[in-house]
Every structure is written in structure tokens, then in C-alpha cells.
């Protein structure tokens, strides 16, 4: 099994099978629900070969893998002896989860399992619309109609699929959810609503409804539930409670068939009488409300959503818009909300191209190529976590470009007419059925080009801090004044180690060196080399120079007690740095106000490897000035 070792390592580092409540996956991530996230060794997981990064959001512990996540997921299930997708919303560990986290977890659990096939069938429907718009086929042709039916089938009977996933998410029997949903889309309902109504309810109001049938004398509001989202999700939520209630009272010997019988008998009428109509009306109001907000200023909406969309995705907040978009397509037959963010991936892809062409770091250039290819198809996690976010500026540039692209889509009034794929596969989703390639469609195409070009141009022009390769660092070392020269990492006043009020440093137990009383809160690299130690509290950092000198910089006395407060790290353990690179920032005044000294020892921890450690400065010293000579 190709990913067996990776799966074993991930399982071990998240705390083992016993620490896992559930696990499933999306396009690029393993999504764990852990009993205790504190047990998981996040930094070690991040350093695994095959893991891009780790995110914590919406009550989920997300291990970002990349395009091959389905294979890794299968390996995790097999190696761990796990029973498959389990998205139970229960918190067996007893931890309190906020309402927002619960909502995100619920939405992702219900919709994630079908997103792949939903995108695939949307692409089919979009392809059918494209070949019709290009006049390659006639609307009456069998080719067009079969492709359209293949794409439309899942969406028409979407409640049945959601009945399964929602019941499973809420902890019930999935096939009961499917049975309730099947009743909602039964073809016989059309005949029941034909002919003259018995009477009309809520006449003259927004909720006016013709009544054709009654159930035990109670009027039934018949409406179409094909492609609907909210009614079946709510029905499944209540069905789980009804099912659990019957399980408590029905004898075990008849439980297998009597519990489903009673649950369906209660829930189908209840859904038709109350849950379905109320949920449908609520969905219509939600759709109207989102359109009203969007229409206040489509351009501003596009700018905001497009600009922040990648941030939403990183923290899982985008799930809040998924049911709104699906509801809009159901009730309005289009959605303008997700339309504004559909092509943000091209801004990210353009930024990656800018990095690829500008960087001189061979490793970064090689990583950019697959990230660029994935981005074209809408999968941007490798680009975000592997390229642009670590470099900071390219990520910001891609957000700006994405916002401009979203604003353009809002300006052209471009809309999604169906759920489709991502990246270039989403293009047919902007074709309005029966209207061909109108200006709204071409506006979306313009937004693609603009997002991509601006992402590239902004990144290339404004640049980024190109990480040094080991080869470049070695060249820089050879050009240095001396093979064992150490420059000052801090601007301030020189203080002998003997005057430091900490015996570990003043007695040179940690090694020889010098201390500096900082005049500004910045620590720069004193050597060309590698960050070999970075305390999680960020108050101390260790480096190993290319010629083997081991340098420890300890900001302040007892500042470990601040637990990282007032400190900001700009590097990670394992990073290759050049002399003068910014390592850490700290708030001098805030640390002093908290009652701590900021005097900073700089010591050579492998002092026995040298005959002499010479201090080259006295009084005031500036950053990057020669500080120590290691003989």
C-alpha cells in the first residue's frame, strides 16, 4: 500500500485510533474530529513527507494532504481499522463547541460526502449547455438530452442523497433519511396537485397556498421538493430524534423493521404538513434576502467576497455560504453569491506563476510547478500552504487580485446557473440555459483573465523575500569577512555576560558570548545557516552556522513565563537564513511593563569547539556589525 507509512505516522501523531471520534476527507484534506486536540503532535505532523500543513477550524483537525488525499484516506481507514466515513456531530469528549463551529461542522458533514459527484454531474450539465450554446447539437437531439439528464439527475433527486448524508451526520439510520426524501420527490405528487383546489390558505399573503388534499383532516401544502436542500436536512434532524425515541421503547426482537416503520410513518406526514412548507418558505426568504444584499452593490459584494474568500476557505468558513448558494439555485434557479468567488483560484494560480518565474530557489521553483497545475483545476491548497502563504506577500497579492476579479463578476452580473467543477471546469456553469454565451458569461471570462494576470503581475512586481537555498548560503559564507564571524543580531548596548542576572549565563555554563540591552525589539540572524531551535514561546532561538557554530539568542530573563505574549516569530525551525534576516520581533516596553528584563544573551553553545571567543564591540552596537570572532 503506497501511503501505508504516512497513514501510520498520521494516526500515531494524532493520538491513535482511540483519540479519533470521526474522520472523512474533502478535496485536499483529512478532516478529523479528535477527542482531545492537545494530544495531537501538530508540528511533527506538519513535518511529515506528504503533509502540506495542519489547520484547526470548525471543531475539526484538518491535515492538508493535496490531490492524493483519497488514497491517504483509504490507507488511514485500513491501517487504523476504522469503519469508514463517520461524521457524527456528537462531542463524546464533552468539550464545549461554539454555535459557529457546530454549524460549520454540520454543514461540512452533510455536504462534503457528495461534493465530488455533485461537481461531476454539474460539469456534465455545464458541458451539455456549452455544446448547445456553440450549436454543436440541437436542443431536441438525443445526445444533448442524455448528457443533460446525466447531469441533472443528481440535482433533481438531491434530497435523497442529502437524506442519507444528513441522517448519518446526525447519528440516525441513513436509509430512513433516504426513504423520507424519496417520498418528497415521488412522481405521484404531481397528480395529487392537479385539478381544482379544495380551498386556498393564507390568501393574499406571501405564503398563499392551494390545498388539494388533507391528511386526517389537516390541510397539506403540496410543493415541489425536487432539488431542495433545507426541507430534507431539517426532516433528517427531527427524524433522528424520533428514531431514537422509538428505539428506547420498541422491543429488540422487532426493532429492525418496526423502528423504521414508525419513524417513516411519523416523519413523512410531519414533513409534508409542517417541516417541508416552513423550510421551503424559509429558503425562499433566505434566497430573497441574499439577493437583496447582493443587489445593494454587486461590485462591493464581489470585492469583499473575492478578496477574503481564500481566508474563508483556510478556516472552513466558506461552508456557511454553500447551503445558501444551493438554496438560491433551487429557489431562484441561479446564484450570484458563489459566482463572485468561483475564479479566485486563478488569482492564486497567477501568484504562483509569479513566484515560479521570479524565485532563484530551486526547491521553491520545483514546488511551484505542481501547485500551478493544481490551481488551474481549482485545487489551491498546495499553492496556498506550500507557496504563497509562507512567502506572505504573494498571498496578499492573490487576495487583492481575487477581490478585483470578484468585483468584475459583480459588475457584469455573472451568475452560476448550476453547480459544476472548480477552476477551468467551472466555466460552463456560467452559461444561462437557453441563452447561449451572453455578456454575463463573457464578463466571467474577463474576470478569469484579470484575476490571473493581476495575481501574476502584482507578485512579480512587488516581489517577496526569496528564501535562500543551502547552496546560496554556502556561497554567502565564503564571501563573509571570516569563516567564523558572528554579527550582532540586535541593536543596543553591549553588556558582559558576567553582569547578566542569571547564573546560567553569567557563569558561562551555556557557553561564552556577550549580552545586549536592546534599543529596539528585533532579532536578526547573526550568521548564514539554519534555524535549529525555536522555542514555542518564541523568546529563544538557536542557529547553526554553515561552518558549525551553534548560537543561542535568549531574549530577556524569565520571559518564558510570558508564554509567547509580546513575541512574533518570522521563521520556523528548519528554515535556512542569511545573516541579517529578521528572525523574531518583540515588544520591549510591554515586556518591561510586565516586570521582565529584556537584556539578551548571545552565546556560543559549542564553545569547547573553539580556542577563543572574542568580543569585538563595546558600548553601542548596531545590527549586522561584527560582534564575535570564533577562533
540-545/550-554 β-pairing: antiparallel
Weakly modelled stretches of the chain, pLDDT under 70 = 1, 26-27, 58, 67, 83-105, 108, 119, 206, 286-287, 314-320, 381, 385, 468-483
**What CATH code would you report for 4-97?**
3.30.1360.60
Question: 3-state class of 261 per DSSP?
Answer: helix
CA distance 329 to 416: 8
C-alpha cell at 72: 491517504
pLDDT at 86: 42
What Å distances lie between residue 215 and 185, 243, 253, CA to CA? 18, 22, 31
Integer Cα distance of 284 and 282 in angstroms? 5
Query: What pLDDT shows up at residue 551?
Result: 92
What cell numbers appear for 220 in the block?
397539506
Backbone φ and ψ for 364, nearest 5 degrees, come out as -65, -40
Structure-block grid coordinates of residue 490: 540586535
* Whole-number pLDDT of residue 38: 87
Buried residues in 325-357 as b, exposed as e (16+ CB within 10 A): bbbbbbbeebbbbbbbbbbbbbbbbbbbbbbbe
What pLDDT, on the 0 to 100 scale, is given for residue 240?
Answer: 94
pLDDT attached to residue 398: 94
Provide CB contacts within 8 A for 519, sequence distance 6+: 491, 492, 493
CA dihedral 293, 294, 298, 301 (to 10 degrees): 80
E-strand spans in 500-556? 512-518, 522-524, 529-534, 540-545, 550-554
54 neighbors 46 (Cβ within 8 angstroms): yes
The continuous run of DSSP H or E covering 287 comes out as helix 276-296
Residue 530: which of 567, 571, 489, 479 has the closest Cα?
571
Compute and round to an integer the Cα radius of gyration of the chain: 30
Angle at 362 between CA 359 and CA 368, to 5 degrees: 65
Task: Please answer whether residues 286 and 322 qualify as being in contact, where contact means their C-beta atoms are separated by less than 8 angstroms.
Answer: no
For residues 627 and 514, the answer to whether their CB atoms sit within 8 Å is: yes
List of residues 6+ apart from 271 with CB closer than 8 A: 180, 183, 184, 231, 235
The residue with cell 450570484 is 336
C-alpha cell at 618: 563595546
> Where on the phi/psi map is residue 66: left (φ > 0), alpha (ψ -120 to 50), or beta?
left
- Neighbour-count burial of 471, counting CB atoms closer than 10 A to its CB (0-12 exposed, 13-18 middle, 19+ buried): exposed
Asked if 352 and 371 count as a contact pair (C-beta separation under 8 A), the reply is yes
- Name residues whose C-beta falls within 8 Å of residue 38's C-beta, 6 or more positions apart in sequence: none
**Cell reading at 550:** 551553534
4-97 and 482-630: identical CATH topology: no
Scored b (16 or more CB within 10 A) or e, 48-66 reads beebbbbbebbbbbbbbbb
The CATH number of the structural domain formed by 482-630 is 2.70.70.10
Question: How many other CB atoms are found less than 10 A from the CB of residue 298?
Answer: 20
Distance (Å, whole) CA 105 – CA 112 = 10
- Of 545, 513, 505, 547, which is closest to residue 526 (Cα–Cα)? 545
Map residue 318 onto helix, strand or coil. helix
User: Buried b / exposed e across 128-143, counting CB within 10 Å, b at 16+?
Assistant: bbbbbbeeeeeeeeee
Give the number of C-alpha atoms closer than 13 A to the C-alpha of residue 607, restricted to the C-beta side.
Answer: 17
Task: Show the cell assigned to 436.
Answer: 447561449
Is-contact 497 505, C-beta < 8 A?
yes
Cell of 499: 553582569
Write out the catalytic residue numbers. 26
- What lies within 8 Å, CB to CB, of 461 at 6+ separation is none
Q: Where are the domains of the chain?
A: 4-97, 157-186+227-292, 297-462, 482-630
**All residues at 6 or more sequence positions from 64 whose CB lies less than 8 Å from its CB, including other chains:** 28, 29, 51, 52, 53, 54, 55, 381, 385
Instruction: Give CA–CA dist 631/626, Å, rounded.
Output: 14
**Contact at 8 Å (CB) between 6 and 75?**
yes
**CA–CA gap between residue 125 and residue 307 (Å, rounded):** 29
Are the C-beta atoms of 512 and 552 separated by less than 8 Å?
Answer: no
CA distance 153 to 155: 6
Amino acid at each position: 500500500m503506497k501511503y501505508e507509512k504516512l497513514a501510520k505516522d498520521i494516526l500515531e501523531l494524532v493520538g491513535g485510533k482511540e483519540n479519533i471520534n470521526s474522520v472523512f476527507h474533502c478535496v485536499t484534506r483529512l478532516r478529523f474530529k479528535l477527542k482531545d486536540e492537545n494530544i495531537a503532535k501538530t508540528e511533527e505532523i506538519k513535518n511529515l513527507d506528504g503533509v502540506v500543513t495542519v489547520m484547526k477550524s470548525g471543531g475539526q483537525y484538518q491535515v492538508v494532504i493535496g490531490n492524493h488525499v483519497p488514497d491517504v484516506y483509504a490507507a488511514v481507514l485500513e491501517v487504523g481499522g476504522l469503519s469508514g466515513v463517520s461524521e457524527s456531530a456528537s462531542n463524546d469528549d464533552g468539550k464545549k463547541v461554539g454555535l459557529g463551529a457546530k454549524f460549520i461542522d454540520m454543514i461540512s458533514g452533510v455536504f462534503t460526502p457528495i461534493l465530488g459527484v455533485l461537481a461531476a454531474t454539474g460539469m456534465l450539465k455545464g458541458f451539455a449547455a456549452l455544446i448547445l450554446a456553440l450549436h454543436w447539437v440541437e436542443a431536441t437531439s438525443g445526445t444533448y438530452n442524455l448528457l443533460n439528464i446525466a447531469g441533472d439527475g443528481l440535482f433533481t433527486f438531491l434530497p435523497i442523497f442529502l437524506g442519507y448524508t444528513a441522517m448519518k451526520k446526525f447519528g440516525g439510520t441513513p436509509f430512513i433519511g433516504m426513504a423520507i426524501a424519496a417520498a418528497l420527490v415521488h412522481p405521484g405528487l404531481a397528480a395529487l396537485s392537479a385539478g381544482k383546489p379544495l380551498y386556498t390558505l393564507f390568501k393574499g399573503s406571501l405564503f398563499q397556498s392551494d390545498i388539494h388534499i388533507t391528511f386526517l383532516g389537516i390541510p397539506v401544502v403540496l410543493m415541489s421538493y425536487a432539488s431542495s436542500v433545507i426541507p430534507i436536512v431539517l426532516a433528517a434532524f427531527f427524524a433522528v430524534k424520533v428514531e431514537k425515541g422509538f428505539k428506547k421503547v420498541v422491543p429488540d426482537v422487532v426493532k429492525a423493521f418496526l423502528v423504521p416503520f414508525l419513524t417513516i410513518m411519523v416523519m413523512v406526514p410531519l414533513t409534508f404538513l409542517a417541516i417541508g412548507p416552513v423550510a421551503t418558505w424559509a429558503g425562499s426568504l433566505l434566497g430573497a434576502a441574499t439577493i437583496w444584499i447582493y443587489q445593494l452593490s454587486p461590485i462591493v459584494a464581489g470585492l469583499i467576497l473575492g478578496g477574503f474568500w481564500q481566508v474563508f476557505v483556510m478556516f472552513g468558513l466558506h461552508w456557511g455560504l454553500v447551503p445558501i448558494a444551493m438554496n438560491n439555485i433551487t429557489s431562484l434557479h441561479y446564484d450570484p453569491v458563489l459566482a463572485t468567488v468561483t475564479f479566485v483560484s486563478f488569482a492564486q494560480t497567477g501568484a504562483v506563476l509569479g513566484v515560479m518565474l521570479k524565485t532563484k530557489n530551486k526547491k521553491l521553483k520545483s514546488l511551484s510547478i505542481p501547485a500551478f497545475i493544481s490551481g488551474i483545476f481549482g485545487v489551491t491548497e498546495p499553492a496556498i500552504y506550500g507557496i504563497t502563504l509562507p512567502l506572505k506577500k504573494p498571498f496578499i497579492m492573490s487576495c487583492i487580485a481575487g477581490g478585483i476579479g470578484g468585483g468584475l463578476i459583480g459588475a457584469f452580473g455573472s451568475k452560476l446557473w448550476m453547480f459544476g467543477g472548480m477552476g477551468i471546469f467551472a466555466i460552463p456553469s456560467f452559461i444561462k440555459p437557453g441563452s447561449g454565451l451572453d455578456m454575463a458569461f463573457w464578463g466571467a471570462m474577463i474576470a478569469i483573465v484579470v484575476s490571473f494576470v493581476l495575481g501574476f503581475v502584482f507578485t512579480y512586481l512587488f516581489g517577496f523575500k526569496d528564501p535562500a537555498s543551502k547552496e546560496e548560503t554556502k556561497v554567502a559564507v565564503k564571501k563573509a569577512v571570516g569563516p567564523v564571524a558572528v554579527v550582532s543580531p540586535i541593536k543596543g548596548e553591549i553588556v558582559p555576560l558576567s553582569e547578566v542576572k542569571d547564573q546560567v549565563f553569567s557563569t558561562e555554563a551555556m557557553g561564552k558570548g556577550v549580552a545586549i540591552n536592546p534599543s529596539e525589539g528585533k532579532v536578526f540572524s547573526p550568521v548564514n545557516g539554519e534555524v535549529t531551535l525555536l522555542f514555542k514561546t518564541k523568546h529563544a532561538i538557536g542557529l547553526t552556522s554553515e561552518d558549525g557554530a551553534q548560537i543561542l539568542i535568549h531574549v530577556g530573563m524569565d520571559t518564558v513565563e510570558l508564554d509567547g505574549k509580546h513575541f512574533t516569530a518570522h521563521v520556523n525551525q528548519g528554515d535556512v537564513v542569511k545573516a541579517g534576516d529578521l528572525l523574531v520581533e518583540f515588544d520591549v516596553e510591554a515586556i518591561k511593563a510586565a516586570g521582565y528584563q529584556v537584556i539578551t544573551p548571545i552565546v556560543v553553545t559549542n564553545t569547547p569547539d573553539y580556542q577563543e571567543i572574542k568580543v569585538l564591540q563595546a558600548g553601542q552596537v548596531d545590527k549586522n556589525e561584527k560582534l564575535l570572532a570564533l577562533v
